[in-house]
Amino acid sequence: MKPTNKLPLICSLIALLIVGLSFFWRSHQANQITEISDEVTKLRQVNFANGNKLEDSDVPEKKALSAVETEAAKVSDEQIAAKLSGEDLKSYQLFEAILKSKNDNDPRLDQDLKHQSQAVRNAMIEKYTQLAPEDKNERGLIAYMISRDVQSPEDLQFMKSVFDQPPCLSLADCKSTAPADPHFSTLNQTTLIYDQKVVLFQIEKNLTEHPEYLKDPVKREGFVAALRQAESYAVPSIQQKAQEIRSRFGL
């Protein structure tokens, strides 16, 4: 009796195994991207949606701007806009209008402002630096706009700078803690690190959807610098997330 040739059967089994593993990997990646996108969406909705705003009685009221401070802010906005012209100026003015409306679910953010020139992005970064630390709504939206579509070393440096600042202790005054309120504790804690969490999730989303970024020396170095800075940020959840991202992508 001739011995049975098992080679074709073995080859078929190996081929099936490779196809199965490939399908599992792509499904796993798709699920991770969906989870990341869902998390970012939740973060974007925490502060801007009217239903999530805290009443004046829930947190200490922010100190109202004086007439001098209001005028100074207006002058600063005009100085930023003066550096732009043409379509760049129109894009920035649209973004500024959405920023003031506190509606980060405005569809124009994804339709008309999906991609911006570096001049507009630099204007957004400058606006971020001029905002008070307590303006978490506005700072979080700017962090989202820059980190979702990284284009330059300036963008990467900005992402690192988001973690290079003292943690905010209270929505009323970042330098002092507010009386604890168990009902709003989770919401408050998420809001206080809003811009930091947005940047981390966008880094993870970028690397998941664009693995080629890991082969780009400038982007890889920029992401690593931002994550290392995040690991030293004095909030454990931020440190842990940064470590998870570095471990996952071998950074």
* Overall average pLDDT of the 201-226 stretch: 95
| Residue 62 Cα to chain centre, angstroms | 25
Q: Phi then psi for 106, rounded to 5 degrees?
A: -60, 120
How many Å apart are CA 42 and CA 39, to the nearest integer?
5
Work out the pLDDT band at 52, boundaries 50, 70, 90.
very low
Confidence at 75, pLDDT banded by 50, 70, 90: low
Residue 66 has pLDDT above 60, yes or no: no
Average pLDDT over residues 44-49: 43
Q: Rounded mean pLDDT of the chain?
A: 78
pLDDT value at position 191?
Answer: 82
The reported pLDDT for the residue numbered 179 is 64
* 98-104 contacts, C-beta under 8 A, 24 or more apart: 98/141, 99/127, 99/138, 99/141, 99/142, 102/47, 102/48, 102/137, 102/138, 103/48, 104/44, 104/45, 104/47, 104/48, 104/137, 104/140, 104/141, 104/144
- According to the model, what pLDDT value does residue 189 have? 73
Higher pLDDT, 25 or 237: 237
Whole-number pLDDT of residue 247? 96
Question: Which are the contacts of 188, defined by CB distance < 8 A and separation ≥ 6?
Answer: 54, 59, 171, 178, 181
Q: Would you state the pLDDT for residue 114? A: 87
Which position has the token pair 């999730």?
201
- Pick the most confident of 3-12, 74-83, 202-211: 202-211
Instruction: Using pLDDT thresholds of 50, 70 and 90, give the confidence band for residue 177.
Output: confident
% of the chain residues with pLDDT over 70? 66
For residue 99, with 0-12 CB atoms within 10 Å meaning exposed, 13-18 middle and 19 or more buried, which class applies?
A: buried
Predicted confidence at residue 29, as pLDDT, reads: 52
Residue with tokens 């003066």: 82
* Domain range list for the chain: 167-251
pLDDT score of 104 more than 50: yes
* Helix, coil or strand: residue 82: helix
9 has pLDDT over 80: no
Tell whether the model's pLDDT for residue 78 goes beyond 90.
Answer: no
Question: 38-47, 106-115, 189-198: which range is least confident on average?
Answer: 38-47
176 by DSSP, 3-state: which?
Answer: coil
